[in-house]
Amino acid sequence: MDYQPRTIAFLSELVHPPQPTDARAIQKLHNQMFESGHPPYSSFAVTPAGPLLTNPSSRKGAVSQVAFLEDRVQFREELGETTQDSFAERVTNVLEFALPLRNVNLLTGQQVTLRSLINPQRFRDSREFLQSGMFGFGEEMSVYERSPQLFGMRLVFPPEGEERNAYSLRIESYNADVRSLYVEVQGSFGPTAVTTGLDDITSNVHDTYEFLRARVLPFIARFDARQTS
């Protein structure tokens, strides 16, 4: 099946040893970005949890921000025009400036989360796809004496053998558009020494997207085989 995933959210969380939040360092980062001529974020704000860099949007539900918290940096790009390449580049470029300013020399872990929508090709309703095509539920559901309006599953793949990274997967029907499956992939990755470069940070974003493309989509396709009435 030739699916065209529509990724509606890119998120990444970089964990580091705890330290006090320093709004002055992030304000300096914001100034440096503007001086470069191509700032990835237009606004700077200070919150009780820590400083934020954001891109305000008039689109409902859209988020574009990076938060600098006591023990982590959180990137969120939701309902925008972001691609895996632009997100990976943004995360890496911001960290290259921000981590030295905050005196962070070690990232103890990274999580990358992708949320995508996929349309089954032989089912018009994602609930029917999950109920009949994937789960094979029939008369067993009659015990509830009502019809569920959301179906879903969750799988967790811990590190095993040569696979050093962990992945978790959620597949659900999508109430906002019953034709679409909601697919969330989260990759969990180990430490990165900042002094040796941030290539792993970029690779982790691409590896998570590759898990979606090369593992999850073929898995879904195995059940997308027939249209039911």
Model pLDDT for residues 179-215, shown as the tens digit of each residue: 999 999 999 999 999 988 899 999 999 999 999 999 9
State residue 21's pLDDT score.
Answer: 87
Three-class secondary structure of residue 134 per DSSP: helix
Residue 23 has a CB neighbour count (10 Å cut-off) of 15
How would you classify residue 61: left for phi > 0, otherwise alpha for psi between -120 and 50, otherwise beta? Answer: left
Average pLDDT over residues 148-159: 96
Whether 228 has a pLDDT exceeding 80, the answer reads no
Domain boundaries, the chain: 6-221
**Measured distance CA(80)–CA(115) in Å, rounded:** 12
State residue 163's pLDDT score.
Answer: 87
Whether 155 has a pLDDT exceeding 50, the answer reads yes
CA 78 to chain centroid: 9
State residue 227's pLDDT score.
Answer: 54
